[in-house]
Structure 1
C-alpha cells in the first residue's frame, strides 16, 4: 500500500474513533401546551411567599385583554415527580432552596427546543430577590420560545392565497384556516371563524414620516385606527345609525418599542369597540418602520369572541404578525 493512502486511512480511522468516544447527545423533541410553564418546586415553597412571588410574575395578567387572564398557565409539581417525559416540557421554571444563590436560564437541558429558568437561594427572601431580578428576562425567553413553537405549528398547513405578497411585497405564516375576506388598493382583511366569533388580520400602509411626534403618538395611532375602521371595517346594520370599528375610548392603548423582522416597530395593545353597537374585543397592532420603501407597514390582529377567554387567540394572532417577512417576490396570480 502506498504511504499517502495509508496515512489517509489512518486519519479517517482516528476521526471515526474520536466521534465514537464523544457521541452527540440526543435530545427528544420538547412537549407542552402553548403558553404553559412547568413550575418545579417543593410544596412548602409553592404554598408560601415564594409561590406567591412566582404567580405574581409568571401568572400576571396579559395586557390589553377584556378581562384578566394569566401570561402563562402554571403547572406546579414537586421535584420528586419531575421525571420521565415531564422533563421534556418546553418551558420550565425550577425553584429551589439551596446553598447557592443563583438565577439564570439554561437551553435544551432535557429536550429541544427548551428553556429552563433556574432560581435558587439560601432563604425564602433570597429566592424572592432572585425572582424579582430575573423574572422579566425568563418571561421574555419563555414567550419567545412559545412564539416560535406556534409559528412552527402554522407551517403544517399554510394559507396559499398570496394576497399580502401581491399587495405589499410581504409574507406571513398564516394558517390555511384563514381566508381573505376583503381587499382594496391599500387594505387587506383576512379572517377565520371560531366557535363564538372570529380571528382577524388586517394589513395596510401609512406614509414613512407618520408617528414622528412622540408627544402625539398615541393620539395619532388612535386616529389612524379609527379612520381605517370607519372606511373598511363596518359593524352590523342598525337602522338610522352608522356602525364601524373604533378604538375603545375609556382607556388609552399600551404602546411598546419592538423589533419585527429586524425593523424598528411600535407594538400597540388595546380594546376595540363598534361605534353605535355593543361589540368589543382585544387587538394587537405592529407599526413597522419600512425605511427601504419609505412607508410604515401596519399589521393588526383582533378577536371577536364574546364571553370567551381570549389569551390564546391573541397569542396566535401575535405569532402570525411576528412572522412577517419583507421584500418577498410579489405574487401576480
Structure 2
C-alpha cells in the first residue's frame, strides 16, 4: 500500500514539475495598477524616437467628452530590463521591441490575473509604428474592458442594496454602497454620491420603443430628450425670473458612438452638461439601450460636477457602473 502511495505521489510531483516546465502555473497573483494606467515596456531610445511619438499619439490622446483635455491613459514607460518581479504583475502592459519578427498580438494573464499585455514587435521603426497604429483601436478596447471588469469587481465588495431601479425598471446595477437614491419618480430615479469638490450622479428613465426613428435628427432628438429631463427633474440654484435647470451644452454637439450594453444594442453619448441660467458645467455619459423585450428604450446616464478637478476617472467609474446593468431581475 505504501509503495502504491509513493508511486502516486511521485506521479503527481512529476506532473506538477512538468506543468511548471511547460510554463503553465496553476496560481497567478492578483494584478496591480491604478485605474486607466498603462505601463509601456520599451527601450529608452525607442521611447524618445518616432516610435514613442506613435505610442503617445494613440494612447495618450484626449478622452472624449470631458471639460478639458485629459489623456485616456496615464502612461508609465520602463525599459525591458526593469520589467521583472512585481512589475510583471501590472494589469495593463504594452510591450514593444525591435526583433527579427514582425508581429502584434494581445496576451492575457501571463504573469497575473486579470492582465492584458499587448505585444508589438517589428524589424525596424517603420514596422513598429505601423503595428502600433494598426492595433491601437483593438488594444485600447481590450485595456478598457479589462479596467471596466476590475472596477466592477471592486464594486462587489460593498454594493448598494436599495431597490429603486429594480422596482421601477426591473433592472439591477453594481452600484457601490457609497451611492444613495436621492429622487424617485414614476419614470425617473436619481442616485448620487458626494466627492471632495462636488458629486457624481446616475439617472435612469425610459422612452417609448419607437423613439429616435430618424437618423438625420438623432443628435437633436437626444439633446431635446436630455433637456426635457433636466427641466423636469434636475433643477439648479434659484435664479429670479428664470427656470434654471440642466441642459446639454449649446456650444458643441455631443459625441455619439455605437455600443453594446448587457448584450443589447445601444448608443453611447458623451458630452458636456451645463445649467440653463447659471455658470455650472461638467461631463456626462448616456446610454440609450434598445430593450426590445420590454418594448422600451432604457436611458442610463452618469454625470459629474467637480469644478477645477480632473474628471476622467470619475467618469470611468460611472461607465463601469452603467455597463454592469442587468435586465429582468427576478423579484
TM above 0.5:
yes
For 1:200, the equivalent position in structure 2 comes to 201
RMSD: 1.9
- Give runs of aligned pairs for residues 1-333 of structure 1, distance below 5 A: 16=12, 19-20=15-16, 22-23=18-19, 25=25, 26-330=27-331
Q: Which runs of 4+ in 1 moved over 2 A?
A: 12-24
Write the distance in 2 (CA, Å) between the matches of 1:79 and 1:90.
16
**1:242 to partner: Cα distance:** 1.2
Write the distance in 2 (CA, Å) between the matches of 1:276 and 1:17.
73
Write the distance in 2 (CA, Å) between the matches of 1:322 and 1:22.
41
**1:20 to partner: Cα distance:** 3.8
Write the distance in 2 (CA, Å) between the matches of 1:254 and 1:28.
39
Secondary structure at the residue paired with 1:242? coil
**1:329 to partner: Cα distance:** 2.3
Secondary structure at the residue paired with 1:177? coil
Secondary structure at the residue paired with 1:190? strand
The C-alpha deviation readout for 1:247-266, integer Å capped at 9, x for no partner, is 00111111111110000100
TM-score (norm 1): 0.94
Write the distance in 2 (CA, Å) between the matches of 1:262 and 1:240.
46
Listed as ranges, the gaps of 5+ residues in structure 1 are 2-8
Write the distance in 1 (CA, Å) between the matches of 2:130 and 2:117.
18
TM-score (norm 2): 0.94
Write the distance in 1 (CA, Å) between the matches of 2:330 and 2:303.
27
**1:142 to partner: Cα distance:** 0.3
Secondary structure at the residue paired with 1:306? coil
1:233 to 1:22, Cα distance in 2 relative to 1, 3 A: same
**1:137 to partner: Cα distance:** 0.6
Secondary structure at the residue paired with 1:143? helix
Write the distance in 1 (CA, Å) between the matches of 2:10 and 2:328.
47
**1:30 to partner: Cα distance:** 0.6
Write the distance in 2 (CA, Å) between the matches of 1:13 and 1:309.
57
Write the distance in 1 (CA, Å) between the matches of 2:330 and 2:283.
32
Secondary structure at the residue paired with 2:315? helix
The C-alpha deviation readout for 1:133-190, integer Å capped at 9, x for no partner, is 1011100000000000011111111101111001100000000110000010000000
Write the distance in 1 (CA, Å) between the matches of 2:157 and 2:236.
33
Write the distance in 1 (CA, Å) between the matches of 2:121 and 2:12.
41
Write the distance in 2 (CA, Å) between the matches of 1:89 and 1:183.
41
**1:22 to partner: Cα distance:** 4.2
**1:241 to partner: Cα distance:** 1.6
Write the distance in 1 (CA, Å) between the matches of 2:240 and 2:143.
48
Write the distance in 2 (CA, Å) between the matches of 1:65 and 1:316.
14
Write the distance in 2 (CA, Å) between the matches of 1:240 and 1:212.
36
The C-alpha deviation readout for 1:276-324, integer Å capped at 9, x for no partner, is 1100000000000000010000000000000000000000000000000
